[in-house]
Structure 1
Amino acid sequence: MRAVRGQAAMAVLAVCGMLALSACQNGDDQAAAPDAKPSAAAPAAPTAPPSAPACGADHRMPVSPDTIAVHRYTPEGGMTSLIVQHGTYGCPGRFEPSGAWTYIPISEKAKITATAPILPSEATGKPISTSELTSWLDTHPDKGLPFRYHLNAEGVIDTLDEIYVK
């Protein structure tokens, strides 16, 4: 029962975050369209979430479940692990790392796309290898660049997409 309540709470947070983020990105302080559907991964919330505050208001969104700030890496244990921090999105869509630093293993064959500053003057994602990412992290530790990630069935990052930040 506790797990079900936890999943429901996470679903409500995810829906609130999506609504608030869409309000910030559109410059609109109205909630998302009433016909918006929750994602397939999250069960529907039993009640409608409150409307999102306007951009410029002092607020934080819920923790983004698929975005991390990558600070460093470690090759310990025979596998490369990224040292990351989860966080929230603030207005106008800027990722703000918060909370504890954690380790997430990354596959040597992960599909990684990078933009600036990893690839100077690139606003669109270009493929790079895990070794290219770790080489950049060696020379630029603690930058905390935001990435969207996906874990495979073993809990290892198999997809990592840098989020372009001006």
Structure 2
Amino acid sequence: MNADRLRPAALALAAVALAAVLTGCQEGGSAAGPAAPSAPVAGTTAAPGSGGSGGSGGSGGGSGATAAPTVAPVVQKPAAPKTSVPKTSSPKTSVPEPAASSHGVGCVDSPPGPDDVDPDEFALYRIEELDGSTGKVNLVVQHGVWGCASKDSDGVPFVGTGEESRWALDQAAYVTATNPIVSSSGSQRIGVQELIDWVAAHPDSGLVFRYETGDDGAIHRLEQVFAP
């Protein structure tokens, strides 16, 4: 009995709803209601008419152009100030003067010490002959240094220091001589026997020679130093 009473009311409600749907289709061209206005995108400016309702052709908004995004200005960082680095000058080092030569430059005017002695030169005083089977003779020499020439002298003296020593000279050694051993101021090669004969005739002359030793420790090269 209650169902029969409610049926007419339900039919009436359905008719009203259908009428409402038909009315909406005629006004908007679709069953959907007007579109909700879209929120503007951050950083952009909304175009005119974008929030309006009820246009023709089924769109809820107007046909305005989409706004271009606003570009934020680029902030340039200030350039760091240039700092000048002070130049440090390297400390000046004193350049050592070249070693003095053996002929008076940088000569000694006082008794020489062990540090002043030239290890490659000596003054020759005598020659001692040995047994021929050794193939050597002994040179009696004294090491020293070149002294300073006096005003009245044309040459530079060789000042010996320390005790005399003996050095073996190979009888096949390369020997050169100048004045007074030979009659020339230039170096000339002579034999060991020629040197022995001259020194025997002029003992304790103190002529200066530069020498070189071989692997056996004996002198294999002997060159007289010319001193006027």
Residue matched to 2:99 = 19
Instruction: Return the alpha-carbon distance in structure 1 between the equivalents of residues 197 and 190 of structure 2.
Output: 11
Give the paired residue count: 121
Residue matched to 1:76 = 130
| Residues 23 and 133 of structure 1, relative CA distance in 2, 3 Å threshold | closer
Instruction: Return the alpha-carbon distance in structure 1 between the equivalents of residues 179 and 117 of structure 2.
Output: 24
Task: Give the conservation status (yes or no) of the 8 Å contact 1:21–1:89.
Answer: no
In the TM superposition, 1:5-154 aligns within 5 A as 19-21=99-101, 24-25=104-105, 58-59=109-110, 60=112, 62-77=116-131, 78=134, 79-92=136-149, 93-120=156-183, 122-154=184-216
Residue matched to 2:15 = none
- The percent of aligned pairs where both chains have the same amino acid is 32
Structure 1 residue 20, shift from structure 2 partner: 3.5
Structure 1 residue 87, shift from structure 2 partner: 0.5
Structure 1 residue 23, shift from structure 2 partner: 9.6
Q: Which amino acid aligns with 1:21?
A: S
Deviations 1:9-49 (A, max 9, x none): xxxxxx99x72437943xxxxxxxxxxxxxxxxxxxxxxxx
Instruction: Return the alpha-carbon distance in structure 2 between the equivalents of residues 75 and 124 of structure 1.
Output: 28
TM (normalized to structure 1)? 0.64
Aligned residue for 2:173, secondary structure, equals strand
| Residues 23 and 111 of structure 1, relative CA distance in 2, 3 Å threshold | closer
Greater RCO, 1 or 2 (C-alpha within 8 Å, sep 6+): 1
Deviations 1:46-92 (A, max 9, x none): xxxxxx6xx6x734470010001010011135431111110112225
| Residues 99 and 117 of structure 1, relative CA distance in 2, 3 Å threshold | same
Instruction: Return the alpha-carbon distance in structure 2 between the equivalents of residues 82 and 147 of structure 1.
Output: 11
- Identify the range of structure 1 (74-83 vs 140-149) with the bigger mean alpha-carbon deviation: 74-83
Larger strand proportion of the pair? 1
Task: Give the conservation status (yes or no) of the 8 Å contact 2:103–2:146.
Answer: no
The alignment's C-alpha RMSD in Å is 2.6
The higher radius of gyration belongs to 2
Structure 2 unpaired stretches of 5+: 1-95, 150-155
| Residues 102 and 22 of structure 1, relative CA distance in 2, 3 Å threshold | closer
Instruction: Return the alpha-carbon distance in structure 2 between the equivalents of residues 133 and 158 of structure 1.
Output: 14
| Residues 148 and 58 of structure 1, relative CA distance in 2, 3 Å threshold | same
| Residues 58 and 66 of structure 1, relative CA distance in 2, 3 Å threshold | same
| Residues 110 and 90 of structure 1, relative CA distance in 2, 3 Å threshold | same
